[in-house]
Chains A and B, each alone.
Chain A
Amino acid sequence: MNFDIGYMIEIIPELLKYVPITLYLAIVSMIIAIVIGVFLALILVNKIPVLLQIAKVYISFFRGTPALVQLLMIYFGLPQLFPLLNSISAETAAIIAFSINTSAYLAEIFRAGLESVDKGQAEAAISVGMTYPEALRGIILPQAVRNAIPATGNMFIGLIKNSSLAFTIGVTELLAQGKLMATSNLKFFEAYFAVGLIYWVLTMLYSKLQEWYENRLGKAYQR
């Protein structure tokens, strides 16, 4: 077997330079996805007419089609329909695609999170004179967030990994750089394995962060 561990270690610092772009794609997409997801979930929970039907089609379509197809559609397809979008950068297209795709899943996760909060919590808030938005902000959302965090964390881990799809439209992120190194030295296994290791470490670090956060949020609920 001819596994060049020295080479693998040697390229890791070079690959690490592309971690920021991967994290940038994942974090920005996640933030936008959370905003859209909360909005969709509130429509689902409160069954707002018309918007409810639109939200359902949106969720169904973007959960039911591959992320890669959505990415190609947005980057190559949309500028054909709307010439204004001709100047859209590959990074922006990737962020739009990942945000939309992830928001469709988050909508369902947040809906379940909101519905897991006992109805009596909102009633109690309203009974002491709070409006529904006030009840939502101070009482319902904080409890829903806690219930939704494990599943939301899974989505973020998925997003870190799926951000590698951006290399198909020419974004030089972690995987794209790995591919470049693999082909220039023909040491495919070493290069891709190094890329894989970096993703693994990133998701592990995130898991630790989430664990700490869950413990912090859980304090109120432990005897």
Chain B
Amino acid sequence: MIKVSNLKKRFDQTEVLKNINFEVNDGEVVVIIGPSGSGKSTLLRCLNFLEQPDFGTIQVGEVTVDATRVKRAEINRLRTQTSMVFQHYNLFKNKTALENVTHALIVTQKMDKNEADQIGRDLLNQVGMVQKADSYPVSLSGGQQQRVGIARALAVKPHAILFDEPTSSLDPEWVGEVLRVISGIANKRKTMLIVTHEMGFARQVADKVVFMADGVIVEQGTPEEIFDHPKNERTKQFLQEYTKQFAEDIKVDSHASSEKRDLLST
């Protein structure tokens, strides 16, 4: 399980995380939503110390660290408990798709290369990318790169996978395939923490939804509680803004298609 207590983080003068407390049980999928700049990504990046928190304790799996007196070896151990899927994929540019998945296994777990390749191919197969095993990232589409990124995160058999806005920089046409892959993993009861702006996806995949704003957790609960019966004013406001935007997007879309129809009929 993941347990975060009294987590605080500031960048210069701005307090990005103000005393965050929350838990994720094993096999649970937790989705974090909230406006930009609310600290969602920073929270996620504190869990593997890509950002060093200023205060608080973080427990992931069997490793617990106290931010105020943490040693490098502890940070390294904490990092082996999770893996991350990035907004910009961050595939290793000098490695093929397969090597991206197997490299950590060979380097950190000293796994035999053939064995690692076998695992790598299985995982690439799971995300529908095995036919591109020998391609380099530069020749893959965004959606394909992200699917390899997910396979890479699965390969190290982490206690939990952290998804940092995994579809935010994808062209709309690739969003669906990546979300489908993530849903597939969620169904296997893998512990996951997902920061996303895809509300429909959040509702469908989450066991628990956390709403963050201004560095605090405003409200958390089941998808029904948060999306259908939000208690807090700020949650209501955020969801309203979101639905309004969503409705406008649809209007623009249908407007465009009716224009197209007009063009076709003349």
Of B78-86, B115-123, B175-183, B202-210, the stretch lying at the interface with chain A is B78-86
B50 to chain A: which residues have CB within 8 Å? 123, 126-127
Q: CA–CA, A142 to B96, complex, Å?
A: 14
Q: Mark B140-172, 1 if CB is under 8 A from A, else 0.
A: 000000000100110110000010000000000
A1 within 8 A of B: no
Q: Does B201 contact A (CB under 8 A)?
A: no
Check A123 against B79 for contact (C-beta < 8 Å).
no
Of the candidates A124, A126, A138, the one having the most CB atoms from chain B within 10 angstroms of its own CB is A124
A129 touches B103 (CB 8 A): no
Determine whether the beta carbon of A124 is less than 8 Å from that of B79.
no
- Do A126 and B79 touch (CB < 8 A)? yes
Indicate whether A138 sits within 8 Å of B86 (C-beta atoms), given known contacts A128-B153, A129-B80.
Answer: no
Report yes or no: B138 in contact with A128, Cβ–Cβ below 8 A: no
A134 vs B156: C-alpha distance in the bound complex, in angstroms?
15
Interchain CA distance A127-B193 in the complex, whole Å: 14
From 90 to 109 in chain B, residues with beta carbon under 8 angstroms from any chain A beta carbon are 90-96, 103-104, 107-108
The yes or no answer to A202 lying at the interface (CB within 8 A) is no
Tell me if A220 and B136 are in contact (CB < 8 A).
yes
A121 touching B83, Cβ below 8 Å: no
How many residues of B sit at the interface, in one of the four size bands?
Answer: 20 to 34
A contacts with B: majority SS: helix
On chain A, the residues within 8 Å of B88 by CB distance are: 120
Report the bound CA distance from A127 to B48 in whole Å: 7
State whether B152 touches A128 (Cβ < 8 A). yes
Q: Does B14 contact A (CB under 8 A)?
A: no
> Contacts A127-B79, A128-B156, A220-B138; is A121 near B108 (CB within 8 Å)?
no
Q: Using Cβ atoms and an 8 Å threshold, which residues of chain A touch B76? A: 129, 131
Closest to A142 in B: B94
Q: Encode A116-141 as 1/0 by CB contact (under 8 A) with B.
A: 00101101111111110010001100
Q: Which of B48, B90, B107, B139 is the one whose CB lies under 8 Å from A121? A: B90
Q: How far is the CA of A124 from the CA of B103 in the complex (A)?
A: 12
Least CB distance, A71 to chain B, in whole angstroms: 38
The residues of A with any CB-CB pair to B shorter than 8 Å are 118, 120-121, 123-131, 134, 138-139, 142-143, 146, 219-223
Supply 5 further A-B pairs (C-beta < 8 A) apart from A128-B155, A138-B92, A223-B138: A121-B90, A123-B50, A124-B86, A125-B92, A127-B79
Closest 5 CB pairs of A and B: A120-B90, A127-B84, A124-B90, A128-B104, A129-B80
